[in-house]
Structure 1
């Protein structure tokens, strides 16, 4: 095929002498025989069309045409040429119509088109002067362009578009065969035919070419309509597989193949239209259905299942990385912001996350723990959540191209299932994330504080180049970032912080991030939490930590004094002195109950072995007037006692709670022999009833029974014998020293039976356990703290804005407090009313939803 750009002749016009002689003859001969000249020209054109050009004289033919134009026969010549070309094209059209084989028809049409363009190039050369003068003056189509127009009208569109429709039908049929996976041999024919159709431009008034070409007006609409039908049929066929992964893979492969076809066959103008059609039908209309398919039909839940399997079972199942990547690419074709994927990911992550506690409990039960304690569950759940996040980090990197919007959706979904609202926690599967994180941290801090590392610490230190402490803190801070109610975490952390100090045998283990002595783990953790949350939010815990430091200093001074004293009845004491205003109320609320009242009466009775030390320390405390403005109260609820007890088998160093130690001291030897030496406690064989122990100690019934269970019922720490031997402690039970007690180790740690284990004994009295009281107290502290924070935030906002509408105030409050907690609408309304009552705010007289700040 000869391009349109080559249609202009390179034959030079006749020499000047020739032109002059022609002019002279034309002027001297007033009559020009048009018919004779046309006969010569028409015969030449026919020979050109029949490819017999070797005998033609282009110089003579050019002169004939030149003279006719010069003598004003240009219009007649133009029309006759058009008629002659039309006649020829109609004859050739009849030949094309007679062909029945598609490939032969395509080949013949292209041959006719190529030969016609070649002919029109030669004819244009002959009629060059006609183009330059007549065509230009009358704004007609150039002869070459006229030939293309005539081909369109007399071959392609003639007789109701007979040949044109056949071309469109055959080309679409061939492309459809290729779409169906057939190998076709007509690729080049298709490309050339489409190029031909693009050159067939419509003509308007005055025969000026304008507007759409035949490809745009006829082929493209038919092709798009056919494609639409094909896409619908193909997508329905893929959907009928009932397999989400197969639909995703098949659709992706087809789209890639279709893009290759489009780039090979069709002009660029068609691609956006076909692309939109294909994306809408095969992706937009179907993707939601595909993603929502159940697990057995391989929807999104199937693609994400390896994540939860790896978390729960600790396996290393391969992800569906490629399928998820393909899914991301498909959705990106219809939604650059990946809104569909983000929404579906959120739904599935929240669903998996909400089911995670149930699966962890089941896993713990299968491992033999019928009633897993809170610490075990907290560790498993938090580790599972962090592992879950790690698994998604891999998918995010390898499948989602580290898309930040998808990352935000994953984080949002995780925050959603981690932060279950309090109203929904009645569900057995619901969790209290702030409390569980505090329990998790409490457990690891205690592990770090142990003299010898546990197997867990050793395992981490050997498998990771980083230190156990670094890993623990990193995980804790990472999980803390998921928690919305950071004020609730602070309250629980303060509670555990206090219990660690009050219940520990000594100060917290000093340990650095590389396992070298030197840095207090509590100090290190507080500094990291302060960096994350701000030190002002940890103000209460920081003040508690100051009390701990003060206690250590006072203990050091006391021990110096003790080392210089000659009083043998004084015992070594590790002091823990707390300012009751800063420490959790659940722990210090009854601190006065263990001290004699104005009448010298007290419900609790300290052992006589401890009283001298208590008196001596009180004198030390108030000496030098350094603590004259302070009161000192002794509380046996926390702490522990070390007793050295010589049993018939051997002597044991036994560490037990203060309550349990005071009970054991009741069985200490009281009498002496004839020589003034204390008689062995086993020789005295003292036996006390439950009621006697209760009267001699004054320990509250709930605590007394719990500690008696610890030292008289628990198999490994049965320091006393209870009769009758039952699991529960009853009012008619009797107790004496267990002379058969044995332990493989000289050092014995007596663990106190948890309050939960003693609930059955207290069920009839319906008395709250210590844990329940603590939980209620923490909730109350959180609520009280939120009231103060909301009040302060409202005053700050109103002081700067002076006047605000109710909804604007809520919006500002939420923004300011979001890093601490999400204030409820009811709480905000209560605090607004409170501030109005206290005359910090006032309502507008005309609009009740508008508030004014009262200076």
Structure 2
């Protein structure tokens, strides 16, 4: 049976009645809700009008009418209602009208659904939902967007000033800006967000101007932190989530970036004052505020670095003044303790306030490198650091600490060493002092000695500690050697040195170089040496013993008239005193001839025995200085309350020799670096060669540019390198 044909006017009249009912419901007028039968009839009417054979297929006409329904409704009802109201009331009306409009679109889209399924898809036309929303956008939104935007911004500023506002209203209004874009954020961003961000900048700019003048740095930061928290809160309640980053950046820019210098340099409360007064919470807040800003922490780190540098330099100047004209190493070592305390203090800031940020580690490092490389009263930090270690590690040092405290301090010393550019100088001074501790049994604890060597090895590499480790091993071997010597003596009863003898055999390469003179030993000592030589030759034929008498010690018995006293003296002193067993009186030149010593060594030796605290020898004339015309005799009247006394030799300033040795080693190191670089590169420009050389050697010392140039010239004369004939600033490696 054929379906009844529907005329367009007849069909549309039926649809209009349904649409009128829908509008009355939206306007809140008395009206019953749609029944399912009514809904089905309206849907079926459209279906039938679209599925009739041409020319009675009214799809296009119905699509056009669909759009006209919205246009007519908006013009007759919506626009006038929105235009009548202003500010917050206009916003409420807009929100209500938008909600109604979405309901209208939803219902009409259902009635006309058949159009969407076939006609719209076939013709590639905008879907019904988009047509309905576009009508509101083009006729309502485009007219009210500026006023709506201004009204919303006014409410936001009121809230910023502490007034209560209807946040849900703002959320609904801003949802319109988002939804009207139908999946795109362009309308929200250009019609609202850009203006709101501009207003935000102006608002906080004016606030910053007032606060920076009236508030202290901590108070200003509290306000800034609170503002940022409130703005984030604003986003979570009514702004779109994509706005958060832009909004935060605006607030940061006006309150923090633009005011950074004024804020950090505020007198009595800026970053310097916070560091000085240990304001941990405020410094942590400063970090929190600035660390998310690109390069925001740079000025904070610069102030941090400058503050530490100034404190360190002040410590150096104080040490310089307290040492005055005398180089008092004990006083100067207090400076190292102060450096450690300073490092502990500011490392705590780096870890706790600045969350271990690399920028502050770098600032701390650069600050310490400035003052840790300053010379104090003629002593370098490398020397002071080695003396500080010596004081901790030797028996009877002034530092009385527990084992844990010693280990912790050594750890900190090694950290300080990282900031010192002349690490090779430290190594040489340390090696000298280590040698004295080991050779004269002055080391308080073997474990501590090994502990610091392990730490130094981790910090500076195996090459740095290889000689020192060799020295420690040597001592262990020497003790074994001494036991074997005792066994040798026990087994060979006919061989006896006549006196108790302990010999420490060392490996030349590991230990510092010592002067070895052909001291004319007294006969009692000659026998000892010969016996030990005999023993040593039974062990090895390939090693030559060189005797370093300057490091030897002897215990001799002095039979004085008041009482007998045991004297602990050096081998030189013992040799000199034993001369008086066979002579009552000896002149300076006689002693010099018999012992075969230099003037310098003899003066020190005789001074210790006749002019210092213990006057074992009587001198004529009785003056405080030694001269070649003096004569000496045994002071038989000498006495002391102790039965055993140690007679020290005047200390020798070894600093000059250490520095000379290090300079010599540096020349070899520079030569080796240049040859190594040129061997791999074959041809290289002068500047590049110098740069690479500095980089390679920088881990151990800071090479002087002039010294590098000098070494290059020397290597050219020795045919390791040659200058390029066309470009004298370029060098070639000669294999």
1:789 aligns with 2:669: yes
Distance in 1 of aligned mates of 2:679 and 2:622? 69
1:631 deviates by 8.9
1:229 deviates by 0.8
1:219 aligns with 2:192: yes
1:438 deviates by 2.3
- Partner of 1:489 in structure 2? 426
Q: Deviations over 1:717-745 (max 9, x none)?
A: 6778999999x6587999996969654x5
Distance in 1 of aligned mates of 2:221 and 2:486? 76
Kindly report which structure 2 residues correspond to 1:373-412, keeping only aligned pairs within 5 A, or say none: 373-378=328-333, 380-403=334-357, 406-407=360-361, 410-411=364-365
- The answer (yes or no) to whether the contact 1:48–1:119 under 8 Å persists in 2 is no
- Partner of 1:271 in structure 2? 244
- Partner of 1:516 in structure 2? none
- The answer (yes or no) to whether the contact 2:554–2:571 under 8 Å persists in 1 is yes
- The answer (yes or no) to whether the contact 1:396–1:406 under 8 Å persists in 2 is yes
| 1:557 to 1:210, Cα distance in 2 relative to 1, 3 A | closer
Kindly report which structure 2 residues correspond to 1:245-264, keeping only aligned pairs within 5 A, or say none: 245-264=218-237
- The answer (yes or no) to whether the contact 1:197–1:214 under 8 Å persists in 2 is yes
Distance in 1 of aligned mates of 2:526 and 2:636? 32
Kindly report which structure 2 residues correspond to 1:306-345, keeping only aligned pairs within 5 A, or say none: 320-335=279-294, 339=298, 341-345=300-304
Kindly report which structure 2 residues correspond to 1:455-494, keeping only aligned pairs within 5 A, or say none: 456-457=399-400, 459-461=401-403, 464=404, 474=411, 477-494=414-431
| 1:819 to 1:228, Cα distance in 2 relative to 1, 3 A | same
Kindly report which structure 2 residues correspond to 1:160-309, keeping only aligned pairs within 5 A, or say none: 161=144, 164-180=145-161, 182-201=162-181, 214-241=187-214, 243-293=216-266, 296-299=268-271, 301-305=272-276
Distance in 1 of aligned mates of 2:111 and 2:455? 93
1:842 aligns with 2:725: no
Distance in 1 of aligned mates of 2:44 and 2:489? 136
1:815 deviates by 4.2
- Partner of 2:29 in structure 1? 52
1:655 aligns with 2:589: no
1:785 deviates by 0.9
Distance in 2 of aligned mates of 1:494 and 1:852? 38
1:88 deviates by 1.4
Q: Deviations over 1:446-487 (max 9, x none)?
A: 22xx6xxx7855x414xx3x8x5x556645544444444332
Q: Please give the TM-score of this superposition, normalised by the length of structure 2.
A: 0.77
- The answer (yes or no) to whether the contact 2:482–2:502 under 8 Å persists in 1 is no
Q: Deviations over 1:180-202 (max 9, x none)?
A: 3x14131111111111233344x
Q: Please give the TM-score of this superposition, normalised by the length of structure 1.
A: 0.68
- Partner of 2:392 in structure 1? 444
Distance in 2 of aligned mates of 1:390 and 1:742? 48
Kindly report which structure 2 residues correspond to 1:566-605, keeping only aligned pairs within 5 A, or say none: 572=500, 584=512, 587-588=514-515, 591=517
- Partner of 1:6 in structure 2? none
| 1:712 to 1:122, Cα distance in 2 relative to 1, 3 A | same
Structure 1: segments with no counterpart, 5+ residues: 1-15, 202-208, 307-318, 514-520, 596-609, 672-685, 755-769
- Which of 65, 85, 102 aligns to 2:74? It is 85
| 1:143 to 1:94, Cα distance in 2 relative to 1, 3 A | farther
Distance in 1 of aligned mates of 2:78 and 2:176? 16
- Deviates most, 188-197 or 486-495: 486-495
Kindly report which structure 2 residues correspond to 1:753-792, keeping only aligned pairs within 5 A, or say none: 770-771=652-653, 774-792=654-672
Calculate the aligned-residue CA RMSD, in Å: 5.3
- Deviates most, 691-700 or 810-819: 691-700
1:748 aligns with 2:645: yes
| 1:738 to 1:297, Cα distance in 2 relative to 1, 3 A | farther
1:266 deviates by 1.0
Distance in 2 of aligned mates of 1:71 and 1:784? 102
Structure 2: segments with no counterpart, 5+ residues: 50-55
- Partner of 2:523 in structure 1? 612
1:628 deviates by 12
Distance in 1 of aligned mates of 2:276 and 2:295? 26
- Partner of 2:53 in structure 1? none
Distance in 1 of aligned mates of 2:45 and 2:530? 140
Name the SS for the 1:268 alignment partner. Answer: coil
Matched positions, count: 715
Name the SS for the 1:653 alignment partner. Answer: strand
Name the SS for the 2:427 alignment partner. Answer: helix
- The answer (yes or no) to whether the contact 2:606–2:626 under 8 Å persists in 1 is no
1:356 aligns with 2:315: yes
Name the SS for the 1:851 alignment partner. Answer: strand
Name the SS for the 2:732 alignment partner. Answer: strand
Distance in 2 of aligned mates of 1:738 and 1:703? 22
| 1:613 to 1:532, Cα distance in 2 relative to 1, 3 A | farther
- Which of 86, 90, 95 aligns to 1:110? It is 95
